[in-house]
Structure formats: structure tokens, C-alpha cells
Amino acid sequence: MNHFFTSIYFIFLSSFAISQSSDSLVLRKIYDHYLTNSKCYSNLEVLTSKIGARLSGSPQAEEAVQWAKKAMYAAGADTVILQPCMVPHWVRGQKEKCLITSTKLKSSNTLKCTALGSSVGTGIKGVKGEIIEVHSFADLDDLGEKIIKGKIIFYNVFFDQTKITTGHAYGETVKYRARGASYAAKYGAIGCVVRSMTSLADDEPHTGNMVYDTAISKRKIPAVALSYKAADLLHENLLKDLTLQMYLETHCQTLPDAPSYNVVGQINGTEKPNEFVIAGGHLDSWDLGQGAHDDGAGVVQCIEILAALKQLGIKPRHGIRAVAFMNEENGLAGGIAYAKFAAEKNEKHLAALEADAGGYAPRGFFVDTTKGLYNQVIKWKSLFHPYYIDRFQIDGGGADISGLEKMGVPCIGFEPDTQRYFDIHHTAADTFDKINKRELELSGAAIASLIYLLDRYY
Amino acid sequence: MNHFFTSIYFIFLSSFAISQSSDSLVLRKIYDHYLTNSKCYSNLEVLTSKIGARLSGSPQAEEAVQWAKKAMYAAGADTVILQPCMVPHWVRGQKEKCLITSTKLKSSNTLKCTALGSSVGTGIKGVKGEIIEVHSFADLDDLGEKIIKGKIIFYNVFFDQTKITTGHAYGETVKYRARGASYAAKYGAIGCVVRSMTSLADDEPHTGNMVYDTAISKRKIPAVALSYKAADLLHENLLKDLTLQMYLETHCQTLPDAPSYNVVGQINGTEKPNEFVIAGGHLDSWDLGQGAHDDGAGVVQCIEILAALKQLGIKPRHGIRAVAFMNEENGLAGGIAYAKFAAEKNEKHLAALEADAGGYAPRGFFVDTTKGLYNQVIKWKSLFHPYYIDRFQIDGGGADISGLEKMGVPCIGFEPDTQRYFDIHHTAADTFDKINKRELELSGAAIASLIYLLDRYY
């Protein structure tokens, strides 16, 4: 190496070191902001405890839209955009009933259950029939219409506890919630019950969306989830009496689509105002709890990015947006609308991040390889090491940004610790008291830090 | 490189790869055991909900000794050793009282408080006096005896929320709990109250040990901790009335030392039976809660190592011990006794691990550099990567194994996530319902995996 190149090399090295060191100071300030001065926790308290559950189409969802707009301006947004979208409007109606009775055992038990989102209701008459317990779609193929017709299918499929990431266990079982009813209807079943998608052996039923997949069956039968303990009880009773009768009564229905909005809070870019780095969560939630972890947490973490930038005097090169997407839970209308608006307005999106895995302690990021994003992000690993962000894995973003992903926008999914998420996911127990303030703030700071680095260098 | 060396090199590489691959299979089996077949959670339920709080010298601590012995045999221990030790026997007595009254404000408030472990009591007469709020020992030096004499000192020192690891915030403030009373007594104070060592703004007072440091003062004055909210209230009232009076009444006392035991469950070594790899937690707990995270979790995680080895048919080369240490909280008599027995019996300890930071999700290990331990452990990093164990940091072990550490035994501290630990640490809220089953099991599996590797290769 000659002297000229040596000098260039060291100049390069030292400017790299200086920029890393000044970036590490900025990250420290972002963390200090989130840990001592942020509104993440108090914002989430309002969203969850004052507004509460906010399923698409509900008055609470609209209240949440107005709240988000105000919260974004309060955080320091230069502008807040409401992006209209039409959302499905499913309502649960009266509390569900699920009874099992056995003449053989002379027993009668009430099972804790919840109708699955998008399901048709049974109405006041309910449905009644014998139950067939299955453990896979293949079981239904084996049994066939002769046996299944007129019965209620019970998908008794457990989470695989050996999966280290709980999302992997969820990924394996959620198909029974999503398409179990259509698959059962295909063989003439009159109802569908599924074991809740959880690893926690408690009595909270987990709702979540289902779809009537017309490619499988044109018949729509009612679908409910049983709590983990209720599914255990049903299984135990079926071992003793295969002719057990189940009575199901649900009053849910789908009303006409309703108008709603994504809420987009923006800090204007100083160099490239029509290029954007965005981070979002979804504003809607299921109707049972308060949508605290799913996904109030993601929303307040992302809104706080605006406050952190403003209060720290960071003027971003590109437009920075915090997006509160509407209708992630049962339709993705908001995510689709966001991508459509971006295309129409010819907005360039450098990168999009989604935070929708609960407000737990941070672990890392799932990063797209599109346009070299992963190779860029992994260079910042050492900046995140002091903050216990250790995992940079190649993977996609999230549901709300999947529209952008299809348009070629590099996407990131934020990864908090997953162990407790499916304990409360889509249940009445997803409430503000399950939030740990520091976990919420640390994850928010991790997201804001990555957005800062992307704006500056990507 | 000539052909001979190339071959040697590749033989080396491929044998390394084979051993890593067979080790990764063993780790997978250990994890499967912990996640599907272990007694961690049910053992902890018995220890916390049936036996409950178990401060050294209490009947519950002795019950816990007998329980641990049984649980270790049930797990498959070849032998269980009870190592006798004399432990301090401090008792809380009747519930504490802390009242503040202000003639100026015409107000009277009851503050939630708890006597600090090892403190003398005020007895039925209580102590009463004006309060001086301080924020450091230096504040006391500045104020001096003239101002402090006859008063009650209030250490109003907050956790530093910007610390990423909560233990660092604890480390900075715990000195006021430990030696605040002696430092106040040095200047003639009649009582000492401290803000609880926590970042959670709730109403649970946190106990914990204090010492009368005769190098600072020979006088023993009563010491209590106020809940976070009580400390806030006191501070606010002092802003309005500096002549506020506090009445403190505590009934704690120190009885004569009592006999107790470490419980040591052992699987015999097949090759080197007098050499040991050990992992332990402490069996005693504070008297307010159930000692679930501190440290029932560590105890059950380590006992399960014996079960995992037995059930997976792993015959260790060295003796493997799960140690339930006695008296970590207020004396370390068990840790000292263990080291003494090891020295007397000339037992060689290859490595010792302590699990005493709560039953939360695993993050990593703090590893000694003694005898090349860190350099060895870091080679296994990739084996742990699938299990979200990412942090291998150079540091020491834990309090119970500090005696061994002084004897030159390489030590390891297990590091779970720390964010929620000081929310419940040493309070009535450290109960079984705060335990997440999967977090407990995943951390147990991480510990067992490292013990397996140490036995095989270190």
C-alpha cells in the first residue's frame, strides 16, 4: 500500500469513525427522549383506556382517527393527512353462547367462546349438532361428507411449544381460524369451532379474522374460537361421549362498508420533500380488549418519532411519516389505500417500517434485501448493540406495508420479544395494564433510531 | 499450504462442524425438554404458592429446604446434599406505620412503607421528627450534625431511567438502602427513609437488606423504604411545609442466628467424579411476596438441569450440581458455606453459574475471563443464536458464587431481560402470577445448554 492510498484509507476510516460516533450520540439522545420525556405511555393510556377497543367501522375507530390526528400535531407534525378508505364493518352483537350437553354423561357445560371476525351469526335459533374433533384439514378429507354433514367441526390444534418464536407456532395454526369454516362447509358441516391461537392455558377466547374462501366452499357457516381451557374440556368430554351435542349461538353480522381513514403525520423533508421514510402501526383493534399490544403500542411508538425529531432539533432530509393504518385486522383497506395514494401522488418511499408485534422489549429488525437495504442496516449493528438490539434478520415487513412492498419499497418489520404476545393476542386481556412502560419506550427508541439512520444515510 | 496441512486443516474443520452439529441437536433436545416436558413452572408454583415467602431462619425457609431436596430427587439427582450453615434471623413483626402530619397544611397522610431487612425496630413508641430530604451522601456532609441531629433523613433518589439495563440504575441507588441509615446516624439522625429502588411508579414499597456500617457510625437507627408514590407524596408535602413531622413505627428485630442449609442436587460424573460444573439460584426470599422471580425462578431452572440430563440420557463427564443456596438476601451464609465445603473436600469446580435476575426471557451470559472461560464460551455463540441468546459479555457471576470466584473458580452470571425485574423486586408483588411459563422455560433451557457444553468441552 503506498502512502497516498494509506492516507485515503485512514481518512476514510476516521471519517467513518467520526460519523459512527456522532450517530451514537444522536441515538443516545433519542433513547433519552423516549425513556424520560416521551408521551408513548400516556398516549397509549388515552388510546386504550379512554377510547378502548376500536374495530374498523366502529364509533371508537373514528374517535381514534381524530385522536391520532391531534396526537400527531401535538407531537410536532408539520402536517397530518387523513387518507380515506372504505372499511368492512363487522359487529359482534350479543355475547356468544356455546353449550355442550351429554345425555350419556348427564352433563352440561358452558364453554367460553368468541365469534371469529367476519363470521356469519347463527341468529337467535343457534345451531346444534354433534361434534367431530379434527387436527388437520387432511382429517376432514379422510372423514368425508358422509360423516361430516350436519355436524360441527372442532379444530383442536395446539401451538407447537417447541417453536422459539411464538409467531412461528401462530403461523402454523392460524390457517384453521382463517379457512377452517370453509373447509368444514365443503363437507357439509353446520358450524366450526377452533382452539384459540395461543400457548397460554387460560380461559380467554381469542378472536381474529376468518374468511369465507369461495374457492373452497360457497357455504358460509358460523365460526367461533374456544378458550384454551374450553377446548381442553370439550376434548375431554368427547373422549367420554362421542355423541355429545353442541349448541352455538352467535349474533354477529356484517354491515355495509363504512368510511374511515389512515392518519399520516409528517415532518417535512429539508432536501427531498417528496421522498419518504415511514414507520407505522395500525389504529384499529379487535373489539374484545383495548388493543394495547395489538397495536396501540406500534401507533404510539411511531407517533413519538415526530416528537423526538422535533424536540431534538433533527431536521430530516426526507419526509418522515408516522402512519396509523386503519383496518389491519380485518381487511387491510388502510394499507392498500396508503400504497394507492403513494402511487397516485408519485411519492418515492425510501423505506417503510411496521411495528405490529406488541409493545415488548426490543430484539431486532426483519429487513428486506430490496435495494440493498439489509446490507445497509447491518452496518449499523454496533450502534444498536448498547441498546440490546442484536438481531438483524433478512425478512419482510408487515401486513400494512405489504402494498408498498409489492411496489418495490424496501420494508422492515420491527421485532420485539414475542414470548408474551399470543397470551393476550385478540382477547379481552389485551389491555393497558399489560404494557410495561420501559419495554414500550425502549422499542420505540429502537424504531426511531433506525428511521433516523435511514433518513440520513440510505 | 501443502497437502498434508490442508488435509489436517479440513479434518479439523469437519470434525468441528460435526461436533457443532451434534451439539446443536443436543441443545434442541434440551430446549424441547424444557418447553414441553419440564417441571420448572409447576415446581415454582409449589415453591411460591404453597410454601411462599421464605426469609432465612423462617419456618418457610426450612420447608423450602425439604421441598428442594425432594424436588431434586424427583428430578433424578443421584444424591442430594444438605450443607449446613448458620443464617441471620431477622423478623419483621407487626406491619409498619409511617405518618406525616403538617399543622401548616392541616393535613395528615399515611405512607406505604416497609422496614428494610436487618433494621432495628422503633418499637411501640415509634420515632417522630422533622424530615430532611437529601439526594446524596454529600448532601448530608454539607448539612452537618447541627441541622441533621434529631431529624429523619429522606433519601429521595430516583432510578436513572436512561440506563438501558435496569440493574445499572439499581447499582447506583442501592447504596442509600444499604448504608443510608449509618450515614444519617453519623450526623445524629433518628431515622432513615429511602425511596424504593424501582423505576415503577406504583405504591408497593421495596424491602431489601441494609447494614449498620460501624466504620461510618456505631448508632443503629431504624430504616424503612417508602413506595415510589409515597416518596412522591412526601416530596410534594415537603415543598409546601419543611417542618412536616413524620411518625415511624416498626417492630422488626434480629433474633439469634438459626441453622439452615444449602440444598445441592448432584448427577455423578462418569469420568471425573470429584470435578464439578454447578448452576444455582437462591432458595431464600424476602418476606413480602412469594419470591417468584427472586429467586424461585433460578432455583427451579437449575433443578430442571438434573431432569433434562437424566431424561435425555446424557451422562456427564463431571459431577453436575444444581444448588439451591440459602441466605442470599441478607447474609450470604449459604454461598460462603458452599465455598468452604468445596475447599475442605478439595472439590475442583470447573465453572459455576448463578441464575438470580428473574425468570424473564433469556438474553445472554456474563462470563469470567478466568482460565480462558470467556474465550471458550464465545465459541458457542452460534449454537445459541437460534434461541435468541445473543449477548456474551465479560463480567462476573453472582453473589452466591462470589466465594468460589475468590477461590479462582471461573464464574458465569445468567442474564435474562431486565426491564420488569425491579418493578416487583423485594415487594409483595413478586408472586407466581408474574411468571410467564415460556420465558421461565426458555431461560432454563439456555442455562442447561451452557452447563452441558461446559461439561463436555471445558
Nearest to A428 by CA among A184, A202, A262: A202
Residue window 332-361, chain A: list those with CB within 8 Å of chain B.
361
Helix (H) or strand (E) holding A447: helix A437-457
Is B202 in CB contact (< 8 Å) with chain A? no
Q: What is the pTM of this model?
A: 0.95
> Is residue A372, in this structure, part of any structural domain at all?
yes
**pLDDT, tens digit (0-9, with 9 covering 90-100), for B368-423:** 999 999 999 999 999 999 999 999 999 989 999 999 999 999 999 999 999 999 99
The minimal CB distance from B419 to the residues A363, A423, A438 is found for A438
Helix (H) or strand (E) holding B423: helix B421-424
Is A202 in CB contact (< 8 Å) with chain B? no
Q: Are residue A170 and residue A225 in the same domain, yes or no?
A: yes
Q: What is the DSSP string of B225-270?
A: EE-HHHHHHHHHHHHH-TT-EEEEE---EEEEEEEEEEEEEEE--S
Alpha carbons B131 and B242: distance in angstroms, whole number: 8
Q: Where is the domain boundary, B219, B251, B283?
A: B251
Q: Are residue B146 and residue B263 in the same domain, yes or no?
A: no
Q: Where is the domain boundary, B224, B251, B278?
A: B251
Q: What is the pLDDT of residue B21?
A: 82
Alpha carbons B225 and B113: distance in angstroms, whole number: 5
Contact B442 A35 (CB under 8 A): no
Which value, to the nearest 10 degrees, does the dihedral of the CA atoms of residues A381, A384, A390, A393 take? -50
Take residue B244 and report the three cell numbers written for it.
412536616
Is A388 in CB contact (< 8 Å) with chain B? yes
**pLDDT, tens digit (0-9, with 9 covering 90-100), for B288-339:** 999 999 999 999 999 999 999 999 999 999 999 999 999 999 999 999 999 9
The minimal CB distance from A387 to the residues B164, B420, B436 is found for B164
The minimal CB distance from B436 to the residues A32, A35, A420 is found for A420
Helix (H) or strand (E) holding B134: strand B127-134
Q: Are residue B363 and residue B451 in the same domain, yes or no?
A: yes
Is A439 in CB contact (< 8 Å) with chain B? yes
Q: Are residue B329 and residue B428 in the same domain, yes or no?
A: yes
Confidence of residue B15 (pLDDT cuts 50, 70, 90): low
Distance in Å, alpha carbon of B77 to nearest chain A alpha carbon: 25
> Is residue A18, in this structure, part of any structural domain at all?
no
Distance in Å, alpha carbon of B165 to nearest chain A alpha carbon: 9
Distance in Å, alpha carbon of B200 to nearest chain A alpha carbon: 8
Q: Are residue B142 and residue B264 in the same domain, yes or no?
A: no
Q: What is the pLDDT of residue A16?
A: 56
User: Which chain A residue shows the shortest CA-CA distance from B434?
Assistant: A434
User: Which chain A residue shows the shortest CA-CA distance from B435?
Assistant: A420
Q: Where is the domain boundary, A200, A228, A251?
A: A251
Q: Are residue A58 and residue A109 in the same domain, yes or no?
A: no
Nearest to A246 by CA among A129, A147, A102, A132: A129
Q: Are residue B423 and residue B329 in the same domain, yes or no?
A: yes
On chain B, the residues whose CB falls within 8 A of the CB of A386 are 164
Q: Stretch B430-449: mean pLDDT, rounded?
A: 98
Number of Cβ within a 10 Å radius of residue A67: 21
On chain B, the residues whose CB falls within 8 A of the CB of A40 are none
Confidence of residue B187 (pLDDT cuts 50, 70, 90): very high
Distance in Å, alpha carbon of B263 to nearest chain A alpha carbon: 31
Distance in Å, alpha carbon of B31 to nearest chain A alpha carbon: 7
Alpha carbons B445 and B440: distance in angstroms, whole number: 9
**pLDDT, tens digit (0-9, with 9 covering 90-100), for B69-123:** 999 999 999 999 999 999 999 999 999 999 999 999 999 999 999 999 999 999 9
> Is residue B11, in this structure, part of any structural domain at all?
no
| Burial track B53-88 (b if 16+ CB lie within 10 A, e otherwise) | bbbbbbebbbebbebbbebbeebbbeebbebebbbb
Distance in Å, alpha carbon of A170 to nearest chain B alpha carbon: 15
> Is residue A402, in this structure, part of any structural domain at all?
yes
B372: alpha, beta or left, given left = phi > 0 and alpha = psi -120 to 50?
Answer: left
On chain A, the residues whose CB falls within 8 A of the CB of B199 are 438
> Is residue A362, in this structure, part of any structural domain at all?
yes
Strands of the sheet containing A411-416, edge to edge, are A79-91, A253-267, A318-325, A272-282, A348-354, A411-416, A362-367, A391-394
Please report, as a single letter, which amino acid is at residue B390.
D
On chain B, the residues whose CB falls within 8 A of the CB of A35 are 161-162
Main-chain phi, psi angles of B62, to 5 degrees: -70, -35
Is A45 in CB contact (< 8 Å) with chain B? no
Q: Which residues of chain A have pLDDT under 70?
A: 1-18
Nearest to A324 by CA among A345, A305, A339, A303: A303
On chain B, the residues whose CB falls within 8 A of the CB of A423 are 436
Domain limits for position B176: 93-251
Q: Are residue A427 and residue A349 in the same domain, yes or no?
A: yes
H, E, C per residue of B281-308? EECCCCCCCCCHHHHHHHHHHHHHHHHH
Distance in Å, alpha carbon of A362 to nearest chain B alpha carbon: 10
Nearest to A62 by CA among A44, A79, A87: A87
The minimal CB distance from A361 to the residues B35, B200, B417 is found for B417
CATH of the domain at B289: 3.40.630.10
Q: Where are the beta strands (DSSP E) in A283-433?
A: 318-325, 348-354, 362-367, 391-394, 411-416
> Is residue B16, in this structure, part of any structural domain at all?
no
Q: Are residue B120 and residue B49 in the same domain, yes or no?
A: no
Q: Are residue B68 and residue B114 in the same domain, yes or no?
A: no
Question: If you count residue pairs, one on A and one on B, with CB atoms under 8 Å apart, how many are there?
Answer: 62
Contact A363 B388 (CB under 8 A): yes
Alpha carbons A371 and A373: distance in angstroms, whole number: 6
Alpha carbons B389 and B360: distance in angstroms, whole number: 13
Distance in Å, alpha carbon of B368 to nearest chain A alpha carbon: 20
CA angle A130, A227, A103 (to 5 degrees): 30
Contact A35 B438 (CB under 8 A): no
> Is residue B10, in this structure, part of any structural domain at all?
no
User: Which chain A residue shows the shortest CA-CA distance from B439?
Assistant: A419
Alpha carbons B47 and B34: distance in angstroms, whole number: 18
User: What is the count of structural domains for chain B?
Assistant: 2
Q: Is the pLDDT of residue B13 over 60?
A: no
Interface with B, mutate which of A161, A435, A440 (most B CBs under 10 A):
A161
On chain A, the residues whose CB falls within 8 A of the CB of B416 are none
CATH of the domain at A115: 3.50.30.30
Q: What is the pLDDT of residue A20?
A: 73
Contact A166 B438 (CB under 8 A): yes
> Is residue B101, in this structure, part of any structural domain at all?
yes
Contact A36 B164 (CB under 8 A): no
Take residue A27 and report the three cell numbers written for it.
441515538
Query: Strand pairing of A97-102 and A245-249?
Result: antiparallel
Q: Are residue B117 and residue B164 in the same domain, yes or no?
A: yes
Q: Are residue B200 and residue B343 in the same domain, yes or no?
A: no
Is A24 in CB contact (< 8 Å) with chain B? no
Alpha carbons A206 and A159: distance in angstroms, whole number: 13
Mean pLDDT of chain B, nearest integer: 96
